[in-house]
Structure 1
Amino acid sequence: MRTLYLFGSAAPPVFEVAEAVENAQARGWDVCLGLTPTAARWLEADLPNLERLTGHPVRSEYKRPGEPDVWPKADAILAAPATFNTINSWASGLTSSFVVGVLAEGIGKRIPLVSMPCVNAAYVQHPAFDRSVGTLRGAGVTVLYGEGGFVPNQPGERRPYPWHLALDAVTTAAGG
């Protein structure tokens, strides 16, 4: 069985992550769930259930030096939902959080990487966002942004998050 690291940021679709895990498992993935610190706080009451669902600890912080890794090696990584902060931090190499650190290292390890942002139309007006998307795509990351991926909504507007597109893309990136 192939291992997928699913990394969620603090955007509303993170509340649907259990369903995304189940859908990935139905596609044959062993899923390890990582969350940004804020996303982990949002899902705090659900963490025990998410650990039972995945069979792995949910991680949101770096392990201490010398501690063994509690997850198997990743065959692919999916960052979804990826917030404005996560996308910009990753593209800039700012690895102060566990999720962004593993994503940044994944580029160098040549692990298949897919990201689907969840940002509103106001955030994407900031010039850093398009630069960051371009930087990640230039590094070989599949970024599902725009037509065929995540299309920004207006601030406060909620639309269904296209998890199926993210799972399709990570399966393709990992070679089927």
Structure 2
Amino acid sequence: MTSRTLYLFGSAAPPLFDVAKVIETAQADGWDVCLGLTPTAAHWLRESIDGLAVLTGHPVRSKYKLPGEPDAWPPADAILFAPATFNSINSWALGLTQNFVVGVVAEGIGKGIPTVTMPCVNAAYAQHRQLDRSVTELREQGVTVLYGEGGFVPNPPGSGKPTAYPWEAALAAAKHRAEGRDERQ
């Protein structure tokens, strides 16, 4: 079986600490995984970066490469951005590409790369009108956003359940998008 390449991107939210297990699950399903992190997420995982690079077989990226440098990753067959924080979702929807991960997913829309995201926000952030606007904008641009029933459902502030984050749903949606199927946007 030829492996497909999954760009797995993450923001700084507690489910990020399970990323090694998520990588192993994706690899067991035939994915070649490339891990990209927002700057804060890279800081959170700073002591694990080298081990995650060994696990994926690719450098973990959190910064843009220099102009003229070859890309260290193969082209993506799909992108999964999870967990995606309030800041990352809104920056992406608004086209504010100040960091590598948001830049790649924003460009991925234009390149037609099948993309799935699953937010990780608390219920207080979910009350901010911009979040709904951003989710709508991303969906209108073809991104599968797993938010609400069947995806991520916000918890009250300070009562997160990182181990209940629905990683399986996110990986399944990325697989379906890569195979040309999309049950929900």
User: Per the shorter chain, which TM-score range?
Assistant: over 0.9
3-state SS in 2 of match to 1:80:
strand
TM-score norm. by structure 2 comes to 0.94
Q: Are positions 1:9 and 2:11 aligned together?
A: yes
Rounded Cα–Cα distance in structure 1 between residues aligned with 2:153 and 2:127: 13
Rounded Cα–Cα distance in structure 1 between residues aligned with 2:65 and 2:18: 26
Q: Are positions 1:161 and 2:165 aligned together?
A: yes
Structure 2, unaligned runs of 5 or more: 181-185
Deviation at 1:156, TM superposition (A): 0.8
Contact 2:9–2:81, Cα closer than 8 Å, also in 1: yes
Partner residue in 1 for 2:52: 50
Partner residue in 1 for 2:123: 121
Deviation at 1:158, TM superposition (A): 2.2
Contact 2:122–2:160, Cα closer than 8 Å, also in 1: no
1:30 equivalent among 22, 29, 32: 32
Deviation at 1:172, TM superposition (A): 0.5
Rounded Cα–Cα distance in structure 2 between residues aligned with 1:118 and 1:23: 20
3-state SS in 1 of match to 2:47:
helix
3-state SS in 2 of match to 1:81:
strand
* Count of paired positions: 176
3-state SS in 2 of match to 1:45:
coil
Partner residue in 1 for 2:144: 142
Partner residue in 2 for 1:172: 176
Rounded Cα–Cα distance in structure 1 between residues aligned with 2:84 and 2:34: 16
CA RMSD after TM alignment:
0.7
3-state SS in 2 of match to 1:33:
strand
3-state SS in 1 of match to 2:117:
strand
Contact 2:13–2:120, Cα closer than 8 Å, also in 1: yes
TM-score norm. by structure 1 comes to 0.99
Rounded Cα–Cα distance in structure 2 between residues aligned with 1:16 and 1:155: 20
